Amino acid sequence: MSYQFQNLTVSKLSVIGAGQIGPDITLHFSKVFVKHGVKLVLVDIAEEALARAKTKIEKKIDKGVDSGAFKPEMAEKMKAGISYTLSYDDIAGSEIVLEAATEDGNIKDGIFRQVETICDDNCLFLSNSSHMQPEVIFKSIVNKSRCLVTHYFFPAERNPVVEIIPSSETSTEITETLLGFYESIGKVPVEVKSSYGYAIDPIFEGLCQTAILCLERGFGSVKEIDKVATEVLGLGVGPFTALNLTGGNPITDHGLDEMHDLLMPWFKSPQSLREATRSGEAWPTAGRGENVDVPSARKTVLAEQFLGAYFSLAGYIIDLGICDASSLDMACEIALVVKPPFSTMNEMGLEQSLSLVKKFCADHDGFVVPQSIEQAAVKGEWKLSRIVSKVVDGVAVFTIRRPKVLNALHKTVMSELQALLEAAEKDSAISGSVITGFGTKAFVSGADINELATYKTPEQGYQSSQTFQAVLNYIENLQKPVVCAFNGFAFGGGNELAMACTARICKKNLPVLVCQPEVNLGFIPGAGGTQRLPRLIGLEKAQEILRTGRPVSSAEALKCGLVLKEVDGDLVAEAVTLVQQISQGNVKVTPICKTPFGAGEQAPAINIGHLSKRIDEILIQAIYDGAQMSLQDGLELESRLFGECVKTKDMWVGVDNFMKNGPRVKAEFVHK
């Protein structure tokens, strides 16, 4: 058995190094590959390390069973699928070898020289490192085209971000394949050009250095500094706590001194960090639930230090030219559990952000104000993109990439999508477009509920609906075909976006493909759902799906005509082909009916369970009155009725319940 991604087949994968992170990486591969029967091998030179690794992995698997993440049968297969060995010969036949040994160039070089004698020339060589450049790690390898660094983040089995660092000799095709491969197994890969420490660690370790310098300067205690850092930057844990949790003192101590020589003079291991590394003692951080009060004057000083450092470090990485601002913004937020740097600067205002940066750099020798921040300040903002664009065989492919919120839509994403489609429409070299989502779980999880929660009047609801509808109407009326490639489920606005496309295809065998769950939150669809779904699959079926908010599988979507086909292989490649076929006239797609199609039907009585009867009345009006109108007039009706929902008590019951309890807790509607 094997796992197939495009032209990469994985039947055997080996991890070398059973220390801190190797077992966690192995555990993630185990979760992903257990259904595919991929053989996993964990290698180490110390029997004690292998024993500890096996205990660690199996303990986490058992914990997954207790939490319901794994079924007992799956857990046993995961355990059985991993072999632990002292012999490098056992890696023979691997398609991928990932080294996760000590952060030492000589050790890594020695490992890969040995691996090269065992594995064939098609095996990919990956090194998990937090700092070292691929040119150093793979210096002795003959075929460097298949060698890359993959930098995982703590904890590796759960933290989705992986930095992908090719060298100048790495095959572009292999890099692209690996980026797609990691996305297909649930990670968020970010390509970074070769540079010591890559893109994210200089920021993390720079914040640790800032925290320690604040301690040495008497700006606060360890506990106070951690507290302010978490509040100001939105960190999950403070810098000192993070160093304790990851055992990061030695790595950071070494890394900062190397960055001093290889990046810029400001980086340097503080004396306190050197001492902590030598002693092996943990930082005296706050205990669980311990309250730490920080005097306001001290809080102000620390806040300025951390914001100035964070913005300066992020800008410095952009100046290096190793990563784009949009990817770094996303990666920092997810990998470090921190506010995204460039989005935060935009929210704060670039003038104030630049002021903090200038103050920080003036106070810290060796740190020059990043040019990128000065340039952003002139423009008034950082230009950030939530959509990844590329051209494949003359077809524009747009991937909505907001993995933290499962690609949820908001007005900024919609306007960006429209601008990209406008450019594709005007480009004579482009035959059409594909819209898909990042990852494997969701195409688009819906509209951003945080925006909805700010509405106070029916007029605001109406205008919001009109804004979204304007973009979808534009997509629907493009002259070039637009194919939606459902890479995962589409809820609410995600399905409404898909229905505005020329055609839709989806991954095969999805138990949940689409859902219009708005009624669960106490409102109706507002981006065309009440009008386009009945026109695409028929009034009778559409009204039941809309009024109950139930999910629809890919098989049902195919049967009722919502999608053209289910795809077992490369979804985007299939979508690109379909665009070409439609544009060439080889495939005919029936356009959506834009004229009245209803004949005065009455809504049947159905069981809507706990859902709001008042919202159901509004929804019925939208569906059945809209069916007797043109599509344009029906969409206008939907917008007005979406605004009417804002006046109901049940919308606020539903939204408040969702914000507090999430989607699994049923709202207690009052039917008013």
Residue 52: give its domain's CATH number. 3.40.50.720
Question: Does 393 share its domain with 359?
Answer: no
Q: CA-to-CA distance for 147 and 160, rounded, in angstroms?
A: 21
Among residues 359, 379, 399, the one where a domain terminates is 379
* Structural domain includes residue 670: no
- pLDDT for the residue 456: 85
How far CA 520 is from CA of 492, 541, 548, 649, 652, in Å, comes to 11, 18, 8, 14, 12
Distance between CA atoms of residues 572 and 76, nearest Å: 34
Closest among 420, 415, 348 to 381, alpha carbons compared: 348
Q: Which of 137, 166, 191 is the last residue of a domain?
A: 191
Q: Is position 667 within any domain? A: no
Q: Could you tell me if residue 331 is inside a domain?
A: yes
Tell me which of 95, 224, 518, 638 is the catalytic residue: 518
- Give the span between the Cα atoms of 332 and 347, in whole angstroms: 16
Residue 166 and residue 229 share a domain:
no
Q: Is 95 noted as a catalytic residue in this protein? A: no
Predicted local confidence at residue 3, as pLDDT: 96
For the question of residue 73 being annotated catalytic, the response is: no
Going by their DSSP bridges, the two strands 514-515 and 442-444 should be labelled as unpaired
In the chain, how many domains are there?
3
Side-chain half-sphere exposure of 140, counting CA atoms within 13 A: 13
- What CA–CA distance (Å, rounded) separates 638 from 420? 27
The encoded tokens of residue 485 equal: 């490639």
Residue with tokens 């004690």: 48
* Assigned domain for 511 exists: yes
pLDDT of residue 37: 95
515 plus 575 within the same structural domain: yes
Burial environment of residue 250 by CB neighbours within 10 A (0 to 12, 13 to 18, 19 or more): middle
Contact between 513 and 492 under an 8 Å Cβ cutoff? The reply is no
Of the candidates 77, 75, 90, 83, the residue with the CA atom closest to the CA atom of residue 50: 83
Question: What's the pLDDT score for residue 150?
Answer: 98
Q: Who contacts 580 (Cβ-Cβ below 8 Å, separation ≥6)? A: 393, 394, 395, 431, 432
Which residues span the domain enclosing 80? 3-191
Interatomic CA distance for residues 502 and 532, integer angstroms:
12
Residues with pLDDT less than 50, the chain: none
Give me the pLDDT at residue 293, please.
95
- As given in the structure block, the two tokens for residue 664 are 């699994």
Let me know whether 393 and 327 are in one domain. Answer: no
Residues 221 and 369 in one domain: yes
- Same structural domain, 508 and 550: yes
Is residue 666 in some structural domain? no
Compute the CA torsion angle 248, 253, 254, 257 (nearest 10 deg). Answer: 140
Residues 216, 172, single domain; the answer is no
Cis peptide before 155 (omega within 30 of 0): yes
Output the pLDDT for position 205.
97
Q: Domain with 572 in it: what CATH number?
A: 3.90.226.10
Question: What is the separation, in whole angstroms, between the first and last Cα of the chain?
Answer: 56
Q: Which residue type does 649 have? A: K
**C-alpha span between 390 and 175 (Å, rounded):** 15
**Residue 668 within a domain:** no
Do 518 and 484 lie in one domain? The reply is: yes
Same structural domain for residues 212 and 178?
A: no
Widest pairwise Cα distance in the chain: 82
Is 476 part of any domain?
yes
Give the separation between CA 517 and CA 491, rounded to whole angstroms.
7
Q: What share of the chain is helix, strand, coil (3-state, %, to 5)?
A: 50, 15, 35
Does 223 map to a domain? yes
Beta-carbon count within 10 A of 461 CB = 24
Note the pLDDT tens digit of each residue in 76-98: 999 999 999 999 999 999 999 99
- Structure confidence at residue 71 (pLDDT): 94
∠323-151-489 over CA atoms, to 5°? Answer: 80
Q: Which of 503, 449, 439 is nearest to 475 (CA)?
A: 503
For the whole model, what pTM was predicted?
A: 0.93
Kindly write down the DSSP assignment for every residue of 405-433, as one continuous string.
GTT-B-HHHHHHHHHHHHHHHH-TT--EE
495 and 427 within one domain: yes
What local confidence, expressed as pLDDT, does residue 507 receive? 96
Residue at which a domain ends, from 134, 166, 191: 191
CA angle 499, 503, 508 (to 5 degrees): 95
CA 478, 479, 484 angle in degrees (round to 5)? 55
Q: What single string gives the DSSP state of each residue in 277-333?
A: HHH-PPP-PPPTT------HHHHHHHHHHHHHHHHHHHHHHHHHTSS-HHHHHHHHH
Task: Please provide the size of the chain in residues.
Answer: 672
| 581 & 647 share domain | yes
From the candidates 183, 191, 496, 636, which is the catalytic residue? 496
Per-residue model confidence as pLDDT tens digits over 202-238: 999 999 999 999 999 999 999 999 999 999 999 999 9
161 and 253 share a domain?
Answer: no
pLDDT per position as a tens digit, 8-60: 999 999 999 999 899 999 999 999 999 999 999 999 999 999 999 999 999 99
